[in-house]
Chain A
Amino acid sequence: MITAGIDIGHQSVNAVILENDRIMSHATRVIAGEVEAAAKTVFCGILERAGMKAARIERLFATGVGREKVTFADGNRTEMLSHVRGSHWLFPAARTVIDVGAEGSRILRCDSEGNLTNFVMNDKCASGAGVFLETVAEMMQIPLSEMGPFSLDSSNRVVLTTTCAVFAESEIVAEVHRGSAKADILAGVHESIAAKIAAVTKRVGIEAELIFTGGVALNIGVVRALEKQLEHDIRVPKNPEIVGALGAAILAKNSA
Chain B
Amino acid sequence: MITCGIDVGSLSAEAAIFVDENLEAYSLIRTGPDSAATALSALKVALEKTDILQQDIEFTVATGYGRVIVPFADRNITEISCHAKGAHYFHPSTRTILDMGGQDCKAIRCDENGKATNFIMNDKCAAGTGRAMEVMASLLQIQLEEIGARSLKIDGDPLKISNTCVIFAKSEVLSLMREGVPINEILAGLCDSVAERVKTLVQRVGIEDDFVISGGISKNLGVVKRLEQKLDVCAHIPEEPQIVGAVGAALFARELLEKQKSSEKRP
A131 in the interface, Cβ–Cβ < 8 Å? yes
* B166 to A, closest residue via Cβ: A166
Contact A177 B33 (CB under 8 A): yes
A53 in the interface, Cβ–Cβ < 8 Å? no
Contact A125 B125 (CB under 8 A): yes
Question: Which single member of A125, A162, A177 contacts B165 (CB below 8 Å)?
Answer: A125
* A103 to B, closest residue via Cβ: B168
Across-interface contacts of A170 in B (CB, < 8 A): 10, 131
Q: How far is the CB of B24 from chain A (nearest CB, A)?
A: 33
Q: Give A126 to B132 CA distance when docked, in angstroms.
A: 14
A174 in the interface, Cβ–Cβ < 8 Å? yes
* A173 to B, closest residue via Cβ: B33
Cross-chain pair count, CB within 8 angstroms: 38
Query: What total of chain B residues lie within 8 Å of the partner, measured CB to CB?
Result: 15
Q: Give A176 to B164 CA distance when docked, in angstroms.
A: 28
Q: Give A167 to B10 CA distance when docked, in angstroms.
A: 10
B151 in the interface, Cβ–Cβ < 8 Å? no
Interface residues of B (CB under 8 A from A): 10, 33, 103, 124-126, 131-132, 135, 163-168
A135 in the interface, Cβ–Cβ < 8 Å? yes
Given contacts A164-B124, A164-B125, A166-B135, A126 and B33 within 8 Å (CB-CB)? no
Q: How far is the CB of A236 from chain B (nearest CB, A)?
A: 25
Contact B131 A166 (CB under 8 A): yes
Interface CB pairs A-B, < 8 A, 16: A124-B163, A124-B164, A124-B165, A125-B164, A132-B167, A163-B124, A164-B126, A164-B166, A165-B165, A165-B166, A165-B167, A166-B131, A166-B132, A166-B166, A167-B126, A170-B131
Across-interface contacts of A162 in B (CB, < 8 A): 124
Contact A167 B131 (CB under 8 A): yes
Residue of A165, A166, A174 most packed against chain B (CB within 10 A) = A166
Contact A167 B167 (CB under 8 A): no
* B125 to A, closest residue via Cβ: A164
Q: Give A170 to B65 CA distance when docked, in angstroms.
A: 14
What would 17 more interface pairs be, CB under 8 Å, given A131-B168, A163-B124? A103-B168, A124-B163, A124-B165, A125-B165, A135-B167, A164-B124, A164-B126, A164-B166, A165-B165, A165-B166, A165-B167, A166-B126, A166-B131, A166-B132, A167-B103, A167-B131, A177-B33
For this complex, into which size category does the number of interface residues on chain A fall?
A: 10 to 19
* A125 to B, closest residue via Cβ: B165
Q: Give A103 to B169 CA distance when docked, in angstroms.
A: 11
Question: Which single member of B103, B124, B167 contacts A126 (CB below 8 Å)?
Answer: B167
Which 6 residue pairs spanning A and B have beta carbons closest together?
A: A126-B167, A166-B126, A166-B166, A164-B126, A164-B125, A126-B165
- In chain A, positions 159-195 with a C-beta closer than 8 Å to chain B are 162-167, 170, 174, 177
Binary contact readout A123-134 vs B (1 if CB under 8 angstroms, 0 otherwise): 011100001100
* A163 to B, closest residue via Cβ: B124
Q: Give A103 to B135 CA distance when docked, in angstroms.
A: 19
Across-interface contacts of B124 in A (CB, < 8 A): 162-164
Residue of A164, A165, A170 most packed against chain B (CB within 10 A) = A164
Contact A166 B33 (CB under 8 A): no
* A129 to B, closest residue via Cβ: B167
Q: How far is the CB of A242 from chain B (nearest CB, A)?
A: 24
Binary contact readout A118-153 vs B (1 if CB under 8 angstroms, 0 otherwise): 000000111000011001000000000000000000
Given contacts A163-B124, A164-B126, A174 and B33 within 8 Å (CB-CB)? yes
Q: Give A131 to B169 CA distance when docked, in angstroms.
A: 12
Contact B164 A166 (CB under 8 A): no
Q: How far is the CB of A53 from chain B (nearest CB, A)?
A: 35
* B135 to A, closest residue via Cβ: A166
Across-interface contacts of B131 in A (CB, < 8 A): 166-167, 170
Q: How far is the CB of B100 from chain A (nearest CB, A)?
A: 16
Q: Give A74 to B126 CA distance when docked, in angstroms.
A: 42
